[in-house]
Structure 1
């Protein structure tokens, strides 16, 4: 037993209810929701203004991809339907230089003449019924500067026209010159004769 006197705290009541000094457990306070709701309302109002009012005032950020595609397609169709510009042919074609007097650089081809060799002998045959025709033509040939090899009547096949026969390209110039001198247009390259140039006077030659 204790040595102290009993006091009021030593008397235990018969009931089971608790008595005495004890602390109350404070319940946790909930955060206020009104700031969150206020911020949400402001954000919603800003979004509605940006979506509904700003496009009407002309504040658009950029053209949408679909609008850009539509605009590009319209430009291409307009370019395709536009008439093609006419090209002036006079500007692209080079200017031809005018020929001046004494200009030797013209593009007109000059006729080529075979070399003339008057050292080649010429034979003259009379293929007509006119007597002395071969001798007369031979005098013309000799007067033109060619030496004579044979002057006689033609004893071969009958000729239909007068001809100048020459042996190879080297004698073509002589044949052309004799044809002009004697008025004979038929020139034949032939190796049948031993002479370089042979003149056969045919029917009708005068």
Structure 2
């Protein structure tokens, strides 16, 4: 290979064999290799933990903001019981005549004394659903029993039942043991009765 000549520079004037030639390296630091190993081990542990958490999160085994599962609650219902010690008022909440009398006869046939079942007309003639109203929570079982006996009426608590002075039909608080049945449009002609 032919030799080429390069222009002269400052390195051409250095005498040959005077010592080191080439790259100069810094001195090796004393006993710092354990610190590098410690940082590498710590980084490895952190990356492994993040990787495991990421896999569990991606697979759906854990959720980022997991709320505790709601506990299902069981609603207590009062068992139905027919109690003929209650007086019953049957009100016709429709425009159809004779519904209150027919239901009164049915209630008397279930065991209520005839003089403890009264009839009348409601203030409204478009009451939607036949409902048995009771005054206090302890009256709910009797209301449910009457509702089932007359064919699946709704049951609701209401405070419009006022106390009475009659000691024979009153409970311990002086309130009359009374249920009020309001006949609704669901029992009117042309509607299926239950």
Report which structure shows greater RCO (CA 8 Å, sep ≥6): 2
Larger Rg: 1
